[in-house]
Structure 1
Amino acid sequence: MAEPIFSSYGIAVTALVVACAGLLYWHLLPKPLQGIPYNKKSASRLLGDLPDMLRWSAQTGEPFYFLPKLCQDLASPIAQVFLFPGTKPCVVLADGQEAHDIMLRRTHEFDRSPFFADTFRAWLPNSLPALASNEQWKHQRRIFSDTMAPSFLQRVNAPRVHEAYTQLLDLWTKKVEIVGDALVDVDKDILYATLEALWTSNFGRSSGASKLQAENLSLPRKTDPMTGAVVFQDAMLSDEVACTIMLPNSSQIAINSPFGVLHQMVALAVVPKLRRAVMAKRRLVDVEIVAAARRLADKEESADDMTCAADVMISRAQRLGDDLYTSAMRDDVFTYIVGGFDTTATTIRWGVLLLAAHQDAQIRLRSAIEQAHGTSSLPSTEAIVRASMPYLDAVIEEVIRLGDPVPANMRVATCDTQVLGYHIPKGTEVIFPTWGPTHTSPGFPVDENMRSPSSQEHGGKIGSWDESDMHEFKPERWLKRDGDGREIFDQFAGPAIVFGAGARGCLGKKLALLQMRIFFTLVFWKFEFLPTDVKMQAKQTVTRRPKNVSVKLRKLR
């Protein structure tokens, strides 16, 4: 008599398990937002669009470019993408005008993306990029903002950037003496010089990275089997310097792992080299805060006398009555270096490759530099900062546009709202690709009545790119004639959102542009970059960077 009972019990348990599994499966399946186009096949599978995105990434090395491709496949300026089981879909907006409007003018509806914040949360939890737009963020932004004042950039940053890139010129001169016009790898040279520029600007002392790079020239060299480039040994950096590279790069863990920032937190706690980097960061920042406080106490400096960014931030914090040894203060000091040097270095890498591949643009740039600064002596810091050089500005913007170091910006909807007439629920993350439709390929027709009122009002202030050549490197697209017939730079020639826009846009944009202005002036005054056969290919790390940065240099003077 017991057997039927146990048999019935087993059937009931099995049915319950199957039902629970079915409910769990249903719960984890993508839940499309109403009306917004999506891949129907992806909506019916647990992993959503992830298999297609991984396949695309394996083929191209550029996972983020799957997003504008999805819009192209769906023939729509807006789409939704399903990236992780059980999570809300993200919305992809492939329309430069509307993306710019959202970031610049609709800040009461959209804020910093939690996904973007997660790339900082494990190692800079109280930094400006990690914080939502709350009172704490506003307070820290006040502390940080003085370091981006034009007067400070010109008085303090510009000379230090000039010195760092002058050291790079000396390094490359020595490399040319050794290898002639053979192909040579310069990837780390650019990275370390850019790091040195920001390090000295922040702390008022050298990181030693560029000096160590030069000292390695006498060590044995090797040849890259893929490109044939001569590869010099790279500097062995101290832990305090290396942590400024290692910790930002660790954010790849959060980006690539299904466990996100939790995976990165565990890695920072248990992986020996990452754990050392975390401790080195703490030592470095504490030492520099103490040093800055002592300098301020000893000299009673005014804002015009301060010679590094750390002093400016500590001085402002003291005036506001802040504790100098909080996590927020430490993160602000560290953010000054790591917040931009990798993206700036990556953009510069693309710049030397693009100008080597486009000799006509390089020749015109050098002609403009020589016309502004002559050929007898290296352009000075003051001369570079003050020079009006529309073509140089155009080259920099075109390098940013096609180099595309940041392949997407993100925001999160803080309330129920609409984008291009589609309902966007509160909490939805919206991704703005900086490549593809309206940027490097033709956009999609959009009913102007579906745009936001602010987009309709201001959209005409930004131009659009010529669809016949928008995928090509053409700095001239950023130039126009003024009323007197003079050629001038037009920053609104077309959509450009790599730096973001609005209050949550890149706070260091002016510094980054200053660094690139000095770099391109000095380097292309001093050297010619010869054509090579090396194919330009990208790889996605924390930034979109070139796989190889191998160039042929010829010293001009």
Structure 2
Amino acid sequence: MDLGNNTQFAAIKHYGASIPVILWHSVTSVGFTTLKLPTGTGLLVGALLLLYLAYWAIIPKPLASIPYNKSSAWSPLGDFPQMVEYILKKKELFSWMGSLTEKYNSPIIQVFVHPFAKPWVVVTDPFETQDLLLRRSKDIDRSLFIGELLSGLTSEQHIQFRSDDIRFKRNRNLVNHLMVPSFINRVSGPEAYRCVNLLIQLWKAKCERAQGRPFSAIHDLSHSALDAIAGSLLGLTESESSTWTQLEAIHQAPLSKGNVDSKNVEDPINFPDAPIPSFLKSIITLTDSLMITQLSPFPKTTYAIVKMFPFLKNAIATKEAYITSKINESLTLMTSKEDPNQGDMTGSLPQNAIHSVLLRERQLAAKEGRQPNYHSRAITDEFVGFLIAGHDTTAVAMAWGVKYLSDHPSVQDRLRSELQAAMPAAFAQKRAPTYDEIVALQQSRHKCCEYLDAVIEEVLRLGNVIDFLLRETLRDTQILGRWIPKGTQLFLVANGPGYVRPSVEVEDAARSPGARKEGSESGKKKLSGRWDDGDLGEFKPERWLKINPETGSEEFDPLAGPTLAFGLGPRGCYGKRLGMMALRIHFVMIVWWFKLGRCPEELGGYEGLQKFAREPRRCFVRLEDAMGR
């Protein structure tokens, strides 16, 4: 392990930087003339000293007692070459950080990525992480680096602002009501259900034509998730649905002869891709472009360059024009006359999220004594952010989900059986469960929901859809007993020890008081349990279930073990309710209608690809009708 004595080494580097300063002061105070050096020699000495000073200024400055790569600490480039090598090989960045905590056998490490900047500190201890997120909001907050990652797309969305930023509070005040259960159940949920039904129709058509052969699923899942979020936010018609265009293409276009004549049932079948509506295509383009910034240590500069390319210019212009048109549609609705049949203003009952936000802006403007700004950058960016994050995380979670279910038939069989038992009328009639039937299960917490939520959480844990949280220290503080200065970037990763790999042993006394075992049960913000290191790499939804001692039944336990899928604390995922609703509907409908068969090894695997979320490199499904029709 190339760590050396960190404390001593850091001290040597600290005092070593002062050596050339002392020499330079000695030379300049005596003077080159007094030293009687030839002019050329004096200039050479001065130049060498300046170079030496520049070298000491640019090389990394390690934080004491935190493991790091010793050779990187002497290089002006730090860990940058190793990071780039990993990215080129793995197409991921944040799993590199998680792998280093395992390599150095430490719950906290540091990496050197930016010249002249503090090291990035990576923390993988679940309990210290939970304490930081739940209880130490005075020590850490949202990192401004998030703004660099997203500033090219959503410069005014609330996700990137600090908690005390007036823009954060103002924007959240505009959109908070979109996540209340009443709005989700009335607007967002039915729209998601409608779009998932279109996906089921598409997959039924593909299943019939594939005749047991696998086909790629990632684009279908992405289109379905995007339709759902765009519909609930902006109000899409069926003709504007990307899944609908794919369904029409399947019905109209003949299969290629090569696909039909192949006798090998292991060969994947290729279905035609139809053009999707330009606005939805622009959102996919913008989402994919985030892969460039997330894999770059200089995201803001990188994105400024990429924005000059026509494909991205066109995508940005398209989404701006479309959202503006939807705002104008809602404004027209808001000025409509009273409908005597409803006894209410037709423009006062929100039809979709953008209509609701504009009504909220009108209300806030009246309260604050100002003119409403319906076309503000903040409103547009909030919706762009929802579209990108909402569709990509749902689609990627489902992509991992169908992969894990395909490789674990006993899990999908149990889930299907419990769903069929919970909705006997739909099963007997061989029809899809209605949206109301699915919601009723969740509201009554039917026992099938316990296993459903366990499956979803296990997919999110192993798939590492969002495998890190980025925070910044607001003041000098201590993490795991190490001193961390103000302004340090903290990467709280969920792809390493304690989450998906065996834990690194940590002395409990080294943790912050709120992260220790004796303190984890106190207060309202209880910490999670600890996973069994023996099977952390296995897909095992049962790990999320516990036996209720009073009823003897299994119940889902969200605190069974550590996870960061939706973040934690006051800056946890704003869209968690909406995201979980969409995932439940997708899982219920897919497992209800289809048996997911195992795909060939060359079409499987669990390697990831870093975009906005971490998606699987390969996602294929082999479908069979589960209703036996």
> Same fold per TM (> 0.5)?
yes
Structure 1 CA distance, aligned partners of 2:295 and 2:196?
A: 34
Q: Tell whether 2:594 aligns with 1:556.
A: no
Q: Tell whether 2:520 aligns with 1:458.
A: yes
Q: Tell whether 2:214 aligns with 1:183.
A: yes
Q: How does 1:23-62 map to 2 (within 5 A)?
A: 23-62=53-92
Q: How does 1:406-445 map to 2 (within 5 A)?
A: 406-445=466-505
Structure 1 CA distance, aligned partners of 2:383 and 2:356?
A: 10
- Which residue pairs with 2:171 in the alignment? 140
1:519 match: secondary structure = helix
Shift of 1:235: 2.9
Shift of 1:14: 4.0
- Which residue pairs with 2:277 in the alignment? 238
1:551 match: secondary structure = strand
Per-residue CA deviation, residues 446-485 of structure 1 (Å, 9 max, x unaligned), is: 2323322333333664111111111100000011111211
Alignment CA distance shift 1:8-1:301 (3 Å): farther
Paired letter, 2:610: Q
Structure 2 CA distance, aligned partners of 1:21 and 1:302?
A: 72
Paired letter, 1:305: L
Q: Tell whether 2:242 aligns with 1:209.
A: yes
Q: Which moved more, 1:471-480 or 1:245-254?
A: 245-254
- Which residue pairs with 2:376 in the alignment? 326
Per-residue CA deviation, residues 252-299 of structure 1 (Å, 9 max, x unaligned), is: 22223343212202321x100100111112111211111122222226
Alignment CA distance shift 1:144-1:190 (3 Å): same
Shift of 1:486: 1.4
Structure 2 CA distance, aligned partners of 1:197 and 1:229?
A: 27
Q: Tell whether 2:367 aligns with 1:367.
A: no
Partners of 2:66 and 2:110 within 8 A in 1: yes
Partners of 2:113 and 2:297 within 8 A in 1: no
Structure 2 CA distance, aligned partners of 1:544 and 1:291?
A: 35
Q: Tell whether 2:223 aligns with 1:157.
A: no
Per-residue CA deviation, residues 74-132 of structure 1 (Å, 9 max, x unaligned), is: 22111111122222101111111211221222122111112222221111100012222
2:622 match: secondary structure = strand
Structure 1 CA distance, aligned partners of 2:495 and 2:298?
A: 27
Shift of 1:231: 2.2
- Which residue pairs with 1:3 in the alignment? none
Shift of 1:10: 4.4
2:466 match: secondary structure = coil
- Aligned match for 1:259, one of 298, 302, 305: 298
- Which residue pairs with 1:524 in the alignment? 591
Structure 2 CA distance, aligned partners of 1:94 and 1:327?
A: 36
Structure 1 CA distance, aligned partners of 2:274 and 2:50?
A: 57
Q: How does 1:194-343 map to 2 (within 5 A)?
A: 194-206=225-237, 207-217=240-250, 218-219=252-253, 221=256, 228-268=267-307, 270-298=308-336, 305-321=349-365, 322-343=372-393
Structure 2 CA distance, aligned partners of 1:480 and 1:303?
A: 48
Stretches of structure 2 lacking an aligned partner (at least 5 in a row): 1-36, 339-343, 366-371
Paired letter, 1:545: E
Paired letter, 1:469: D
Per-residue CA deviation, residues 34-54 of structure 1 (Å, 9 max, x unaligned), is: 222222122122222222233
Partners of 2:596 and 2:623 within 8 A in 1: yes
2:491 match: secondary structure = strand
Q: Tell whether 2:581 aligns with 1:514.
A: yes
2:380 match: secondary structure = helix
1:34 match: secondary structure = coil
Partners of 1:100 and 1:500 within 8 A in 2: no
Q: Which has the larger radius of gyration?
A: 2
Shift of 1:62: 3.1
- Which residue pairs with 1:384 in the alignment? 438
Shift of 1:142: 1.4
Structure 1 CA distance, aligned partners of 2:104 and 2:188?
A: 46
2:335 match: secondary structure = helix
Partners of 1:368 and 1:392 within 8 A in 2: no
2:571 match: secondary structure = coil
Per-residue CA deviation, residues 200-225 of structure 1 (Å, 9 max, x unaligned), is: 10112233211111122244558799
Q: Which moved more, 1:48-57 or 1:492-501?
A: 48-57
Paired letter, 1:386: A
Per-residue CA deviation, residues 425-446 of structure 1 (Å, 9 max, x unaligned), is: 1100111111121101222222
2:350 match: secondary structure = coil
Partners of 2:467 and 2:564 within 8 A in 1: no
Partners of 1:247 and 1:277 within 8 A in 2: yes
Structure 2 CA distance, aligned partners of 1:228 and 1:547?
A: 18
- Which residue pairs with 1:79 in the alignment? 109
- Which residue pairs with 2:17 in the alignment? none
Structure 2 CA distance, aligned partners of 1:16 and 1:230?
A: 70
Q: How does 1:527-546 map to 2 (within 5 A)?
A: 527-533=594-600, 534-536=603-605, 537-546=607-616
Partners of 2:241 and 2:277 within 8 A in 1: no
1:192 match: secondary structure = helix
Structure 2 CA distance, aligned partners of 1:496 and 1:66?
A: 19
Paired letter, 2:383: V
Name the TM-score, length of structure 2 as normaliser.
0.83
Shift of 1:11: 4.1
Shift of 1:336: 2.4
Structure 1 CA distance, aligned partners of 2:38 and 2:206?
A: 82
1:125 match: secondary structure = coil
- Aligned match for 1:111, one of 127, 141, 147: 141
Number of matched pairs? 549
Partners of 2:294 and 2:611 within 8 A in 1: no
Structure 2 CA distance, aligned partners of 1:525 and 1:407?
A: 29
Paired letter, 1:103: L
1:191 match: secondary structure = helix
Q: Which moved more, 1:515-524 or 1:50-59?
A: 50-59
Percent identity between matched residues is 32
Structure 2 CA distance, aligned partners of 1:193 and 1:183?
A: 19
Shift of 1:329: 1.6
Paired letter, 1:181: G
Partners of 1:122 and 1:264 within 8 A in 2: yes
Paired letter, 1:532: C
- Aligned match for 1:94, one of 105, 116, 124: 124
Structure 2 CA distance, aligned partners of 1:254 and 1:308?
A: 31
Partners of 1:253 and 1:261 within 8 A in 2: no
Q: Tell whether 2:191 aligns with 1:192.
A: no
Alignment CA distance shift 1:252-1:10 (3 Å): farther
- Which residue pairs with 1:399 in the alignment? 459
- Which residue pairs with 2:368 in the alignment? none
- Which residue pairs with 1:4 in the alignment? none
Structure 2 CA distance, aligned partners of 1:263 and 1:440?
A: 32
Structure 1 CA distance, aligned partners of 2:499 and 2:296?
A: 29
Alignment CA distance shift 1:304-1:379 (3 Å): farther
Q: Which moved more, 1:150-159 or 1:38-47?
A: 38-47
Shift of 1:9: 4.7
Partners of 2:291 and 2:610 within 8 A in 1: no
Shift of 1:400: 0.4
Structure 2 CA distance, aligned partners of 1:480 and 1:304?
A: 45
Paired letter, 2:438: I
- Aligned match for 1:468, one of 519, 534, 544: 534
